[in-house]
Amino acid sequence: MKSKNIIVVFSAFLFLALANFYQVVAQEIFVANWNVENLFDTKDDPGKNDEEFTPAGRKHWTEQRLNLKLKHLAKVFDLMNNGKGPDLLGVEEVEHKALLQRLLGFVHTDKRYGIAYAESPDKRGIDNALIFNSNLFKLILVQPIEVNLPSGYQTRFILHVKLKSKNNVKLDVFVNHWPSRRGGLRKSRPNRVKAAHELAKAIKTALKQTPDTYIIALGDFNDEPTNYSIKKVLNAKELDCRNPDKTAILFDLAYKLKIKGLGTYLYRGHWNMLDQIIVSRSVVKKNSFNYECGSFGIFKPNFVIEKTGRYKGAILPSFGGRKYLGGFSDHYPVFAKFIIEKGN
């Protein structure tokens, strides 16, 4: 009987030791993406179509309104990751890097953040960025990828960001904001197909240059997981965690929620899953950086949700047409959790 008690005690001790060891060598990483809807400063930028976002413009965009928007965005930012803030956040529709620096001034998390950013030739001046936890990641490279559209219209870059963790885990992150559906889905499709080809080419190059890297492509794709640009050009597959497709190079984590009828953007009564996180096959294996299966979701704090009217269930935006609503954005953020090995 005594020997059995010793075995039980030893087993319990071993279990606790292993649990503590796992906590030491592994850490949860919260990755998110958010199109923050027209985050403009109040100045008229020569050469950009931003006149409406000035005090004298149609939107009467004042410093007071801008500061309120920044505070609203920061409130949502702070609540992500159970109040700890994101570790990686892709951001779309930002006019200048300085606006993100101001945003971080309103953030209350204990993390130190860096910003990867590049000004693009987009006519409206809205760009992509990546906010990253600089306690965990070191910035290695910021590379804008130009998308030359068939229409000749100048659009934003795909932002390629190389990061390295303290224990040398390499990440290639691609922040996307593909051309809009303006003019109709069919007419505008070639523009997003072009963006998809550019992203696919960049991912292929990254995997060739750094075979042990992990790929995360996130953003507002203005297409859904089932659309041609993502399903066929990128060839991003639905992820079955128990039996991942062995032929797939990329997996779209948003696919399952799209099939369930969920989305991040409400348009004419229909939900569109425009905001997605796509990962490489290496991320779903048992490696140094792994997707936490089933963790992809749409971030919906109760206070951002429209409670009544024709847009019930949508996120409260800054504007409804020309009417100022003083909200947050017209897109919900999306997120996914990953496990990374800690450095020594």
CB 211 within 8 A of CB 170: no
Say which CATH number the domain at 170 has: 3.60.10.10
Count CB neighbours of 257 within 10 A: 19
Q: Reduced to 3 states, what is the DSSP secondary structure of residue 214?
A: strand
- How far apart are the C-alpha atoms of 221 and 236, rounded to whole Å? 13
Give 189-193's long-range contacts (Cβ < 8 A, gap of 24+).
189/228, 189/229, 190/149, 190/150, 190/151, 191/149, 191/150, 191/151, 191/153, 191/155, 192/221, 192/222, 192/223, 192/227, 192/229, 193/228, 193/229, 193/233
Is there a domain that residue 10 lies in? no
**Per-residue pLDDT of the chain in tens (344 residues, 90 and over written 9):** 555 555 544 555 555 544 444 444 789 999 999 999 999 999 999 889 999 999 999 999 999 999 999 999 999 999 999 999 999 999 999 999 999 999 999 999 999 999 999 999 999 999 999 999 999 999 999 999 999 998 888 999 999 999 999 889 999 999 999 999 888 888 889 999 999 999 999 999 999 999 999 999 999 999 999 999 999 999 999 999 889 999 999 999 999 999 999 999 999 899 999 999 999 999 998 789 999 999 999 999 999 999 999 899 999 999 998 899 999 999 999 999 999 987 54
Domain count, the chain: 1
Is there a domain that residue 315 lies in? yes
Is there a domain that residue 9 lies in? no
pTM for the complete prediction? 0.92
Is there a domain that residue 6 lies in? no
Q: How far is CA 143 from CA 30, 96, 113, in A?
A: 23, 17, 19
CB 22 within 8 A of CB 325: no
Is there a domain that residue 331 lies in? yes
Is there a domain that residue 19 lies in? no
Q: Which domain holds residue 104?
A: 26-341
DSSP 178-206: ----TT-HHHHHHHHHHHHHHHHHHHHHH
Is there a domain that residue 320 lies in? yes
- Single-letter code of the amino acid located at 207: L
Is there a domain that residue 108 lies in? yes
- How far apart are the C-alpha atoms of 15 and 2, rounded to whole Å? 20
Please tell me the predicted confidence (pLDDT) of residue 285.
Answer: 83
- How far apart are the C-alpha atoms of 32 and 114, rounded to whole Å? 15
Burial class from Cβ neighbours inside 10 Å (0-12, 13-18, 19+) for residue 3 reads exposed
**Of 303, 305, 278, nearest to 31 (Cα)?**
278
